[in-house]
């Protein structure tokens, strides 16, 4: 498998950052800030809070950089894990439920997603994702909006891969139900759920 050039560059920067090179960590910040901010903003729904939490993520990362271990995951996945924890802490402070989702179904590998075909559909989809139970929303955002793999998503959320797949299945099922209760579901073509991010999210 070909190594992602950006992931490799980030890995090299992290090696330097671990040795105390703050300029290297500054480059990591510059490269990763947009994606980490977008992820947090989708979860908290507030620009000011998202900006504050994103800065907290990179501050925490700087403190933890000396103990960073690759373990087969990308630097960006490591930052997403810190971001997830920051979002959890944020909602706990607000005394809002974070992860009350129970998992009773498993993904069956069927092609169950519909293609997102228009800007209006995308806007509506993002709104509906925000209404999902916390764990389902986290998985859908990471998998299809942030383009994280099942393995990385499991690491970021500290869940088993089978749990991530189940949450993905339930989240997509709930989204399709929400759309079917209103206007027709977005798009007419059924696509592979693992390729959903290529059909309209980015």
Query: In CATH, what number is assigned to the domain containing residue 40?
Result: 1.10.1740.10
Q: How far is CA 42 from the centre of its chain?
A: 9
179/159 Cα distance (integer angstroms): 28
Residue 71 lies in a domain: yes
Task: Tell me the average pLDDT across 70-76.
Answer: 83
Same domain, 82 and 119: no
Write the CATH number for 155. 1.10.10.10
Its domain, for residue 183, covers 113-198
Number of helical (H) and strand (E) elements in the chain, helices listed first: 8, 2
Residue 136 lies in a domain: yes
Same domain, 73 and 130: no
93, 122, 137 - which closes a domain: 93
Query: What share of the chain in percent tops pLDDT 70?
Result: 73
**Which pLDDT does position 71 carry in this prediction?**
78
Residue 101 lies in a domain: no
Given a contact cutoff of 8 angstroms between Cβ atoms, the answer to whether 32 and 43 are in contact is no
Residue 105 has pLDDT above 50, yes or no: no
**Which pLDDT does position 185 carry in this prediction?**
42
pLDDT band at 99 (very low <50, low <70, confident <90, very high): very low
pLDDT tens digit sequence for 117-131: 444 556 677 778 878
Residue 99 lies in a domain: no
Which residue did the predictor score with more confidence, 100 or 124?
Answer: 124
């Amino acid at each position: 498998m070909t190594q992602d050039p950006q992931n490799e560059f980030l890995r090299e920067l992290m090696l330097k950052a671990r040795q105390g090179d703050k300029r290297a960590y500054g480059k990591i910040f510059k490269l990763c800030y947009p994606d980490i901010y977008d992820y947090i903003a989708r979860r908290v729904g507030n620009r000011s809070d998202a900006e504050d939490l994103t800065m907290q993520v990179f501050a925490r990362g700087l403190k933890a950089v000396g103990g960073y271990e690759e373990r087969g995951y990308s630097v960006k996945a490591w930052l997403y894990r810190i971001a997830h924890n920051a979002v959890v802490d944020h909602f706990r402070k607000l005394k809002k439920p974070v992860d009350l989702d129970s998992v009773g179904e498993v993904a069956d590998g069927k092609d169950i997603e519909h293609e997102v075909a228009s800007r209006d559909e995308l806007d509506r989809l993002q709104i509906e994702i925000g209404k999902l139970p916390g764990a389902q929303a986290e998985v859908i955002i990471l998998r299809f909006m942030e383009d994280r793999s099942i393995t990385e998503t499991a690491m970021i959320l500290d869940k088993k891969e089978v749990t991530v797949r189940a949450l993905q299945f339930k989240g997509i099922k709930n989204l399709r139900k929400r759309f079917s209760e209103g206007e027709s579901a977005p798009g007419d073509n059924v696509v592979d759920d693992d390729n959903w991010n290529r059909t309209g999210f980015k």
